[in-house]
Amino acid sequence: MIKNYLYTVGKYLPASQRDDILKDLEANIYELLEEAHGDREYSPKEFEDVLYKMGNPKRVAESYLERPRYIIGPQYIDLYLLVVKVALLGISIGLLVVSIIKFIVDGDLLQSLFSLVGGIWNAGLVMVGIVTIIFSLVEHYGKEEDFPIENEDEKWSLDTLEQPPEETDRIKTSDLIFESIFILIFLAFLNRGLPLTMIYSEKAFVFLNYEILSSYIIWINLALGFDLILDVYLLIKRRWTILTRLLSIILDLAGVAIIAILALTPGLWDFSSIPGISQEELTGIETGVGLGLKIGLAAIIIIIVIEVFKHIRAIFRKR
């Protein structure tokens, strides 16, 4: 009971102060118990009485803070700043790679620098805006549902306390952060780095058939965009639920379908424009690339199947 109370209070505290405040709060709870009932084993009713005396977990958390009004509250502000930093880092790395490739091909350093700075500024503003909106919506709608307060009353119930997530439902923050960075890098490359130009024998050529690929770009953007939104939501909530697991399964399967279509689409990879290539060399390259794509696709399918199986197993355990 006390563990649930402390966990719920902790959700409304900034990470930098959370541990110290919760230790102090736990000590205060046991001091109240000892003052009221002496130093002994306490009954569930005595625990309930002292927790009701402490008050609404949200109000208790706010009493330790100096900022009672906010768009993004203390429970989310550290995570918000982390996600913004991750987003800007991922976008910057992706656009830097694109600018380096363009500089190698075009040789125009000044144009590449202007493109890099402008791209980071534009994409960064959009990403920060999206992340801010997501966190603001979670802040606005999530807290009131957890602790409905009628008028100015401090009415609440121990039934509203949120239990810490089980081990299988805990979110691995580092995995989500790295995944988000790679998604942002790929999105930057996909939307600003195409058509991809390569150098062979001091001559430039494009090996991707952009006319074919362009019809799939919107679907790739949508799939990766929803993946990114889910990652941000999971970082906010810090636990898996049945709904988020089902959404993750759907997005994983959609990703496999898109990758499979791209890998098996005839004419997407065009090496005939390589300067001075013979028909025999062209056939060898196309055969090798085709085999590599099929092996890569098989590896991705295996990885996705394992992840889907983990989610399904966790869902059935919940039920």
Residue ranges of the domains in the chain? 1-69, 70-148+166-318
Residue percentage of the chain with pLDDT more than 90: 7
> Taking the CA atoms of the chain, what radius of gyration do you get in angstroms?
26
pLDDT at residue 160, as a whole number: 65
Tell me what the mean pLDDT of segment 252-258 comes to.
90
* pLDDT over 70 (residue 147): no
pLDDT classification of 245: cutoffs 50, 70, 90: very high
* pLDDT over 80 (residue 206): no
pLDDT classification of 88: cutoffs 50, 70, 90: confident
Tell me what the mean pLDDT of segment 204-219 comes to.
76
pLDDT classification of 66: cutoffs 50, 70, 90: low
**pLDDT single digits (tens) 40-50:** 888 888 888 88
Tell me what the mean pLDDT of segment 82-97 comes to.
81
pLDDT at residue 250, as a whole number: 94
* pLDDT over 90 (residue 251): yes
Which one, of 87, 177, 102, lies nearest residue 132 by Cα? 87
Sign for the pseudo-dihedral over CA of 187, 191, 195, 197: negative
Tracing tokens 């085709």 back to the chain, one arrives at 290
How big is the CA angle at 72 (ends 231 and 69), to the nearest 5 degrees?
165
* pLDDT over 90 (residue 249): yes
How big is the CA angle at 240 (ends 310 and 138), to the nearest 5 degrees?
155
Residue 39 has φ and ψ, to the nearest 5°, of -90, 95
Residue 51 has φ and ψ, to the nearest 5°, of -70, -40
pTM of the entire structure? 0.58
Q: How far apart are CA 225 and CA 208, in angstroms?
A: 23
pLDDT at residue 71, as a whole number: 72
Q: What is the DSSP string of 182-202?
A: HHHHHHHHHHHSPSPEEEETT
Residue percentage of the chain with pLDDT more than 70: 82
* pLDDT over 80 (residue 228): yes
Tell me what the mean pLDDT of segment 260-270 comes to.
80
pLDDT at residue 145, as a whole number: 41
Which one, of 163, 154, 153, 160, lies nearest residue 55 by Cα? 154
**pLDDT single digits (tens) 288-307:** 877 887 888 888 889 888 98
pLDDT at residue 142, as a whole number: 59
Instruction: Give helix 44-54 / helix 2-10 axis angle, nearest 10°.
Output: 20
Tracing tokens 């065009």 back to the chain, one arrives at 270
- CB within 8 Å of 1: residues ≥ 6 apart: 44, 47, 48, 51, 158, 161
**pLDDT single digits (tens) 55-64:** 888 888 878 7
Q: How far apart are CA 17 and CA 10, in angstroms?
A: 9
Which one, of 66, 81, 68, 63, lies nearest residue 15 by Cα? 81
Which range (141-150, 156-165, 309-318) has the least confidence?
Answer: 141-150
